[in-house]
Structure formats: structure tokens, C-alpha cells
Amino acid sequence: MFNEIVSFVRNYYNEPAAFIPLHEPRFIGNDRKYVLDAIDSTFVSSVGKYVDQFEDMVKDYTCANYAVATVNGTAALHMSLLLAGVKSNELVITQALSFIATCNAISYIGAEPVFVDIDSQNLGLCTDALSDFLATECEVKNQNCYHVKTGKRIAAVVPMHTFGHPVQIDKMLEICKQYFLPMVEDSAESMGSFFKGKHTGTFGDFGAFSFNGNKTITCGGGGVIVTNNEKQAKLAKHLTTQAKIPHRWNFEHDHIGYNYRMPNLNAALACAQIELLDAFLESKRKLAIQYAVLFKELPATFVEEPTYAKSNYWLNAVLFADKIERDAFLTYSNDNHVMTRPAWQLMHKLDMFKNAICGPLTVSGKVADTLVNLPSSVLVKDSLIQE
């Protein structure tokens, strides 16, 4: 089986011997043109036409009312949590199977993550697990939700659309409304993913996206906050620009601000990338379909998009029978210069979060022990290249 998988990947990318990365960026459109234009303009920092243009393009693509470009996805998530009202010594419910940026952003505020289990189909926060935790461990008083044992306020819920697969966001919203909880969608991995025809990140109070170097589209770093709340969007832009009151020469500031705005140089690259997003998604979907066919004949389970959603298939994933088989495949594939990797270490197993409040994490543990991410780069074809 291991040889069949590696051979498939090599044949797909037409690389008989060279190293095949997990997910490399593709710069095949207007990337150089826009970046050089930004350089020639001398506006390379957080002021420039490409920052505004990228925000407009994100709004158009996601159908969000407002978009605020940030320096990276972690900054977008941190700012979203602040705007959602999360404060120090409060609790934020999220998933243990996540990249550490989710918990880092919570920790920057001085809040603490609470971990509940994931869904076996979409690998994101499980609605049943969330509902059970809130019903058994929490209570509502004066339209605020509190963890009974600690007395701490539950300040927000942060589901992550794992590997680009949307969670059951409609049911999650109903639960959050029942318990008076704001929702911040960690959409870092899900640019181009849709739940029942609506883009991820646009359901909760805020959505935070990432454009890191390994994402579906990238500008090296970069992130964006999306929201439908005009007042909060304006405040997000103000706070991410050091909370400086606009003036031609005076430096006046009215809040503790953050140097979180996306530089124009990065935004230029982001504009070129989003122009090709649909073409990238088409290429990635074709690969996912072929992976699905391959694993129907092999004793391992390919992670397919949920029936209610359209995933961007950011990173394709497969579940092996057990940890021993998973580790054997990781060794074999990487020894043969095909990059694969396991899921992240579960957050509650890291020293920083070892004392975090946790619900049962049965599915999280199984997935963490058996999942492998497979090469998922866009396959470059002449038809994708713009003149």
C-alpha cells in the first residue's frame, strides 16, 4: 500500500525522483507585476492601493460586508477575539486538534482555551460535543455563560474549519445563540470553502483567514478579518493601525493599538493570488477526487468533504488503521522524498495547556494518532497561466 500511494503522488506531479513538498505556493499570474508596481510606488508598508484592493476582493469573494487585512492569520484571530469581547481570565471553547495559533491568540488576551471533541466527518469542532459540554458543565446567568466548576465566564466559541472542511456551522450558531456566546470562526485554512453555498468565516461574528506560505493562496504572510458588523470593522481597522486618529501630521492615539495591518507589498501579491483562486481550487479538487478513487482500493480512509459543504481541500488527509501503521507510512514516504506529515499534537498535551479544561476527546485522540496529510500542491498547467 505505501508504495502505491507514493507512486501515485510521483505520477501525478510527474516527478520520478525529486523531492515533492506537502504544499508549495504557485506564482503563475500577476504576482511579479503587482509586487514590482508596489515597489515602484514606494508604498510598501501598511498604506497603499493594494491593501484596499485586496480587502475589496475578499469582500467580493466571500460576500462579507467588511474585510480588514492583517499582517498574518494569528493577528486576525487575536483581533477578532478582542472585538468579540474576550477578556483576561475568561474561557474560550475550541478544539484540541488545531494549529497552535488558535490557542496562542486566546492566550495573548490572558484567556484560557477549553477543549471539546471534534466531529469524525469534518474534523472540526463537534456540535454534539459542544452542546453536551455546555449543558453539563455550564450555566447561563444574566445572558452570560459560566463554567460552573471554576465560575469563569465562557467568552466565545472558536471552531476551526480543519484542512478546509467546514464544520456544521448552522447548528453551532444555534447552540451559541442559546448560550449567548459570540462565535469567531478560525477560517485560516478554508479560503475557498463553502457551507451550503455560503463562504466560511461569514457565519460567526468574525472570521479570520490566513495567507501563510503554505495556504491555498499566499502572500508570504498575511491574514484578513471578515465581518458583517460595520462598527466592529471600523474599530478593527483602527486598532490594527496602532489606534492612530487620522491627521495630516499629529500623532494622537485613543486605544492600545496593534501593528497588525497588512503591508502593501504583501497585499500586491495577495491580489494576484486571489485572481487565480478559482483555478487553484479546481486543480485541488481534481487531485482530491483522484485521491478518493485511489483509497477506495486501499485499506485506509480518505477524508472527503462533508456532504453539506464544498471544501477547498487545502491539505488532503488519510486515516490509517492505527498509530503504528501511520508512523510506518510517515517514515516510508519521507524516506522516499515525498513529504507527508501527521496532524498537530493535541493542544492539551502541550505543556502550556496541560491544565486546560477538557471534555471527552475520543475522536480527537484517534484522529491525532492515525491521520497523515498528503501532498496537495496545485498542479501547474499552461491553462492557469495569465498573460
218 and 108, same domain (yes or no): yes
133 and 227, same domain (yes or no): yes
| pTM for this entry | 0.95
199 and 297, same domain (yes or no): no
**Cα of 211 vs its chain's centroid, Å:** 9
Look at residue 327 in the predicted model and tell me its pLDDT.
98
pLDDT tier at 380, thresholds 50, 70, 90: confident
pLDDT tens digits, one per residue of 59-87: 999 999 999 999 999 999 999 999 999 99
Per the CB < 8 A criterion, the answer to whether 285 and 278 are in contact is: no
Nearest to residue 6, comparing CAs of 320, 331, 280? Answer: 331
Residue 385 has pLDDT above 60, yes or no: no
Look at residue 207 in the predicted model and tell me its pLDDT.
98
Residue 386 has pLDDT above 60, yes or no: no
329 and 271, same domain (yes or no): no
For the domain that residue 328 is a member of, what is the CATH number?
3.90.1150.10
| Average pLDDT of the segment spanning 303-321 | 97
The total domain count for the chain is 2
Residue 100 has pLDDT above 80, yes or no: yes
Per the CB < 8 A criterion, the answer to whether 172 and 158 are in contact is: no
pLDDT tens digits, one per residue of 82-94: 999 999 999 999 9
Point out the domain boundary residue: 230, 245, 275: 275
151 and 192, same domain (yes or no): yes
pLDDT above 70 covers a percentage of the chain that reads 98
pLDDT tens digits, one per residue of 105-153: 999 999 999 999 999 999 999 999 999 999 999 999 999 999 999 999 9
Which structural domain, as residue segments, surrounds residue 123?
Answer: 31-275
255 and 380, same domain (yes or no): no
pLDDT tier at 387, thresholds 50, 70, 90: very low
| Average pLDDT of the segment spanning 42-51 | 94
Look at residue 106 in the predicted model and tell me its pLDDT.
98
pLDDT tens digits, one per residue of 224-255: 999 999 999 999 999 999 999 999 999 999 99
Look at residue 382 in the predicted model and tell me its pLDDT.
42
242 and 306, same domain (yes or no): no
Q: How far apart are CA 191 and CA 119, in angstroms?
A: 20
Residue 365 has pLDDT above 60, yes or no: yes
243 and 316, same domain (yes or no): no
- The helix or strand, by DSSP H or E, that contains position 208, with its residue range, turns out to be strand 206-210
Look at residue 384 in the predicted model and tell me its pLDDT.
53
pLDDT above 90 covers a percentage of the chain that reads 97
Task: Spell out the alpha helix ranges (H) of 153-194.
Answer: 169-178
